């Protein structure tokens, strides 16, 4: 049996160092798909994925004259020098055409300068650089990952789980950008108008009446017919995130607020469009969730969408296709 081609990974997400990252998104054991195997910390991989990585080597920060005596400042500068060396060594292991940069954060207008800088830096080291915005060298929707933690084969064969609850929303209390603040304002409106839904997530304000943070989204999405899925960013033709994939993998009918990418990627009828983050949107949510009619009508479209997510949009499948090409 031919050994698979390994794909290592570095990321600016601090928690993504596990060897089995993404293994639950493949139909075969140990992260294999076709002739590849994803091994995030592999030291001598055949390919390297830069997954939302922006910590490229830069000139060490100069130490101000008045602080050169401070041990902590010198230590910080030395740590930066060492990080730069480690990144350079990792990127120098492979030819440029075998290094892939995929950016997955929302393209907030407030972050445009940093985003453009990171893309320019990535092009020095990577043969393929993409992101979900028009600033990217290759603009395209992000390949799908999900946090509905069930094995690939189980998800592939899973029919609708037992549904007992009406509608949920999984979000956070982050308010760093205007898009975040608009979403929180809509949440406040829903609570003020007593729109019925169950709320989960981290960092939510007390008035939001949240039910707490989730370890596994499957535990909340599985029992619900409808899921309110509001993207962090909804104003371009590329950005779509796991908020949509998670809901569909749980056989929820998403009530979605996001950009147009979802319409190109998924079949008609597999999700509903929330018209706006205002009183009209709240009224629409109440109307749809007042009955189960929309969920029942969407079953065939949801089933088709789930297969597209698992077999076509899947990040590991995307990597396999990249290597084959």
Q: What DSSP character marks residue 115?
A: H
Task: In whole angstroms, give the CA distance from residue 21 to residue 51.
Answer: 12
Q: What CA–CA distance (Å, rounded) separates 102 from 141? A: 10
For residues 158 and 307, membership in a common domain is answered with: yes
Does pLDDT of 20 surpass 90? no
Retrieve residue 228's tokens: 């309110």
Does this model's pTM top 0.85? yes
Question: pLDDT value at position 8?
Answer: 93
Across the range 307-325, mean pLDDT stands at 96
Q: Which helix (H) or strand (E) holds 273?
A: strand 272-273
Distance CA 24, CA 252 (A): 20
- For 52-82, what is each residue's pLDDT tens digit? 999 888 765 565 655 555 666 567 767 777 7
Q: Is residue 128 part of a domain?
A: yes
Phi-psi region at 251: left, alpha or beta (left = phi > 0; alpha = psi -120 to 50): left
User: Are both 56 and 135 inside the same structural domain?
Assistant: yes
Which one-letter DSSP state was computed for residue 280? H
Q: Indicate whether 288 pLDDT > 60.
A: yes
Average confidence (pLDDT) over 147-152 = 92
> Residue 296: which pLDDT band, with cuts at 50, 70 and 90?
very high
Check whether residue 156 and residue 96 sit in a common domain.
no
Residue 113 lies in a domain: yes
- Strand pairing report for 165-170 and 32-33: unpaired
Same domain, 116 and 163: no
In a domain, 224, yes or no: yes
Residue with tokens 């296709």: 321
Query: Same structural domain for residues 110 and 176?
Result: no
Query: Is residue 145 included in any domain, yes or no?
Result: no
Cα 207 to the center of its chain, rounded Å: 27
Phi, psi for 165 (deg, rounded to 5): -120, 160
Same domain, 179 and 301: yes
| Res 13: pLDDT | 87
Q: Is residue 208 in a domain?
A: yes
Distances (CA, A) of 295 to 68, 184, 255: 65, 26, 11
- What value does the mean pLDDT take over residues 4-31? 87
Is residue 45's pLDDT more than 70? yes
Query: Where a domain ends, among 140, 172, 194?
Result: 140
The model's confidence at residue 87, banded by pLDDT at 50, 70 and 90, is confident
What tokens were used for 209? 């009446």
Q: Measured between alpha carbons, how far is residue 120 from residues 102, 111, 140, 161, 299 in Å?
A: 13, 14, 17, 46, 44
> In which element (H, E) is residue 190 found?
helix 178-192
The pLDDT value recorded for residue 84 is 79
Contact 177, 170 (CB under 8 A): no
Q: How far is CA 316 from the centre of its chain?
A: 14
The pLDDT value recorded for residue 71 is 63
The mean pLDDT value for 170-184 works out to: 91
Within a domain: 302: yes
The reply to whether 101 and 217 lie within a common domain is no
Residue 320 included in any domain: no
Q: What is the CATH number of the domain that holds 193?
A: 3.40.50.11660
For residues 66 and 161, state if they share a domain.
Answer: no
Percent residues over pLDDT 90 in the chain: 78
Domain interval for residue 29: 5-140
pLDDT at 3 over 80: yes
The stretch 281-308 carries a mean pLDDT of 98
- Of 89, 119, 140, which marks where a domain is finished? 140
Token digits of residue 321: 């296709």
Residues 243 and 112 in one domain: no
Structural domain count of the chain: 2
Q: Quick one: pLDDT band at residue 86, thresholds 50, 70, 90? A: confident
The pLDDT of residue 113 is above 90: yes
Domain assignment of residue 292, yes or no = yes
pLDDT digits (tens, 9 = 90+) for 267-279: 999 999 999 999 9
Whether 222 and 303 map to the same domain: the answer is yes
Same domain, 225 and 283: yes
Mark which of 115, 140, 165 sits at the end of a domain: 140
The answer for residues whose C-beta is within 8 angstroms of residue 193's C-beta and 6 or more apart is 279, 282
pLDDT digits (tens, 9 = 90+) for 222-260: 999 999 999 999 999 999 999 999 999 999 999 999 999
- What pLDDT, on the 0 to 100 scale, is given for residue 61? 57
pLDDT at 112 over 60: yes
Does residue 126 register a pLDDT over 80?
yes
């Amino acid at each position: 049996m031919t050994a698979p081609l390994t794909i290592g990974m570095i990321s600016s997400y601090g928690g993504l160092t596990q060897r089995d990252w993404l293994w639950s998104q493949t139909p075969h054991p140990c992260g294999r798909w076709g002739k590849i195997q994803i091994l995030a910390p592999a030291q001598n991989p055949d390919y390297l994925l830069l997954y939302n990585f922006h910590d490229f080597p830069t000139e060490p920060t100069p130490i101000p004259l008045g602080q050169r005596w401070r041990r902590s400042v010198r230590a910080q500068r030395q740590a930066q020098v060492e990080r730069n060396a480690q990144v350079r060594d990792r990127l120098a292991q492979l030819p440029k055409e075998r290094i892939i940069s995929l950016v997955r954060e929302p393209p907030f207008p407030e972050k445009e300068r940093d985003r453009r800088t990171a893309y320019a830096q990535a092009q020095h080291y990577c043969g393929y650089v993409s992101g979900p915005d028009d600033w990217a060298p290759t603009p395209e929707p992000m390949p799908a990952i999900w946090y509905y933690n069930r094995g690939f084969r189980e998800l592939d064969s899973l029919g609708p789980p037992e549904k007992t609850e009406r509608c949920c929303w999984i979000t956070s209390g982050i308010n760093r950008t205007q898009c975040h603040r608009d979403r929180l304002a809509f949440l406040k409106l829903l609570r003020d108008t007593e729109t019925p839904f169950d709320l989960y997530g981290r960092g939510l304000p007390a008035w939001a009446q949240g039910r707490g943070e989730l370890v596994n989204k499957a535990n909340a999405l599985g029992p619900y017919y409808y899921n309110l899925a509001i993207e962090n960013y909804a104003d371009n033709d590329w950005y779509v995130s796991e908020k949509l994939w998670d809901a569909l993998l749980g056989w929820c009918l998403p009530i979605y607020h996001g950009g147009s990418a979802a319409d190109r990627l998924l079949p008609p009828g597999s999700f509903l469009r929330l018209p706006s983050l205002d009183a009209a949107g709240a009224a629409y949510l109440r109307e749809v969730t007042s009955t189960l009619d929309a969920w029942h009508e969407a079953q065939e479209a949801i089933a088709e969408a789930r297969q597209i997510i698992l077999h076509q949009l899947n990040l590991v499948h995307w990597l396999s296709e990249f290597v084959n090409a």
